[in-house]
Amino acid sequence: MTRWLRPPRRVALLSVHTSPLEQPGTGDAGGMNVYIAQTATRMAERGVEVEVFTRATSSELPPVAELAPGVLVRHVPAGPYEVLDRSELPAQLCAFTAAVLRTEANNEPGFYDLVHSHYWLSGQVGWLARDRWGVPLVHTAHTLARVKNAALAEGDTPEPRVREIGEQQVVDQADSLVANTEMEANDLICQYDADPAKVSTVSPGVDLRQFTPGSQLEARAALGIALDATVFAFVGRIQPLKAPDVLLHAAAELLAQGRVDRSKLVVLVVGGPSGTGLEQPRALQDLAVQLGIQDVVRFLPPLPGPALAKVYRAADVVAVPSHNESFGLVAIEAQACGTPVVATDVGGLRVAVNDGVSGLLVSGHSSVDWANALARSAELRGKLSVGALNHARAFSWDHTTDELIGAYMRAAVTFREVQERAEVAS
């Protein structure tokens, strides 16, 4: 039984479908990867050992890799050594769970103090590990099927019923649920009937050492962009949910209205196809051609942090036109570099962007409305840049990690009380 009233010694962190070692921006790698890597690293700095379990997608991956001192990533064989679509992963949960339990069984009893699962697939594994090991289960959903399905992009595929059922099971079984925002906490309570006493709100952070203000001149020179250019940027996975097409339509609208000099306009799209975007991996390039703006749009592959910071610094405005976001790490990263953000007025983006202060929020995806917001943000860049920096500084991964450890400790207390009541009743 868990008996500690202090930070845990060792945490088993479950991330079935994507590894924190993967480059965010393509496939299934995104904000969750950043969240796991950043919080795990900082937990280790606080003396909490972390072991991350993720599915092995290649036979060339080592069984165990070090992400940072005190953080190990275990590549678990479960299914073929290849990237599988998330719809195929439920069939591999049995194999994945067996490998996780086997790892713990090879160590002394009580090796892990707590299980923290990320995304519903991991929650299914964590549920069984919790019962087998007698430790608390903390779960972070990151996204919720019912919320996503209520805000689908046109032509996008709804999340399947099996996911809704699986999420509900994890919500019912977890000892603690960590939400990114108060809105997500409310979704858990109202749409999944979560016990409010089990729900904690812990905002994600930003690496304030990596994403910092810098010279726009140097950033643009590194990217081969003229200093006097008007630069709009999108960063993220290329899929309908993230709606990068909205930026292209807005850019075409600005050109059609004559509100921007074509010779000076640059639209940067940084990322790779993901999710249903894999069905038509060149759809965005084709759209640029259809809109007649292929000459002003530049496509870049997913970039690591230092190169990504240069993109943010080079841009006048960063667009985050998602149909839904549980938070929106790109928005905070851009603002930490002093770049205003125009984002959709949905979900966690209402927290990530301080409307009218660090950027602008847009209701819906009208190309006219987005064109107006982009133009206005570019005009107000000086003022909004100051607000963006101040807003971003309220978020940090150190704060997120401290709050997570606090949630772990509360979960341990609750778990112990439940176990003791059960023992008395029996």
Does the annotation list 333 as a binding residue?
yes
Q: What is the dihedral of CA 54, 302, 396, 365, to 10 degrees?
A: -110
Beta-ladder partners of 11: 50, 114
Q: How many CA atoms lie within 13 A of 211 on its CB side?
A: 27
Q: Which helix (H) or strand (E) element contains residue 54?
A: strand 49-55
Does the annotation list 348 as a binding residue?
no
Does the annotation list 237 as a binding residue?
yes
Contacts of residue 407, defined as CB under 8 A and 6 or more positions apart, other chains included, come to 138, 176, 178, 200, 202
Q: Are the CB atoms for 314 and 277 separated by under 8 Å?
A: no
Nearest-CA neighbor of 338 among 219, 202, 252?
Answer: 219
Does the annotation list 42 as a binding residue?
no
Does the annotation list 280 as a binding residue?
no
Does the annotation list 119 as a binding residue?
yes
Does the annotation list 31 as a binding residue?
yes
Question: Rounded CA gap, 79 and 93, in Å?
Answer: 9
Does the annotation list 417 as a binding residue?
no
Does the annotation list 18 as a binding residue?
no
How far, CA to CA in Å, does 263 sit from each of 23, 231, 247, 293, 299? 33, 12, 18, 11, 18
Question: Rounded CA gap, 408 and 114, in Å?
Answer: 8
Does the annotation list 75 as a binding residue?
no
Does the annotation list 63 as a binding residue?
no
* Pairing verdict, β 317-320 and 137-140: unpaired
- Which sign does the torsion angle of CA 37, 41, 47, 51 carry? positive
Does the annotation list 262 as a binding residue?
no
Does the annotation list 182 as a binding residue?
no
Nearest-CA neighbor of 50 among 20, 5, 93, 6?
Answer: 20
Does the annotation list 24 as a binding residue?
yes
Question: Rounded CA gap, 377 and 354, in Å?
Answer: 13
Does the annotation list 315 as a binding residue?
yes
Does the annotation list 146 as a binding residue?
no
Contacts of residue 397, defined as CB under 8 A and 6 or more positions apart, other chains included, come to 38, 39, 42, 204, 205, 206, 207
Does the annotation list 242 as a binding residue?
yes
Angle formed at CA 396 by CA 247 and CA 117, multiple of 5 degrees = 85
How far, CA to CA in Å, does 260 sit from each of 116, 182, 250? 48, 38, 11
Does the annotation list 313 as a binding residue?
yes
Does the annotation list 277 as a binding residue?
no
Q: Among the residues of 134-270, which ranges form H helices? A: 145-149, 161-173, 182-192, 216-223, 244-256
Cite the annotated binding site by residue number.
17, 23-24, 28-33, 86, 119, 143, 163, 237, 242, 312-313, 315, 325, 333, 339
Cite the annotated binding site for UDP-N-acetyl-alpha-D-glucosamine by residue number.
23-24, 31, 237, 242, 325, 333
Cite the annotated binding site for Mg(2+) by residue number.
312-313, 315, 339
Cite the annotated binding site for 1D-myo-inositol 3-phosphate by residue number.
17, 28-33, 86, 119, 143, 163
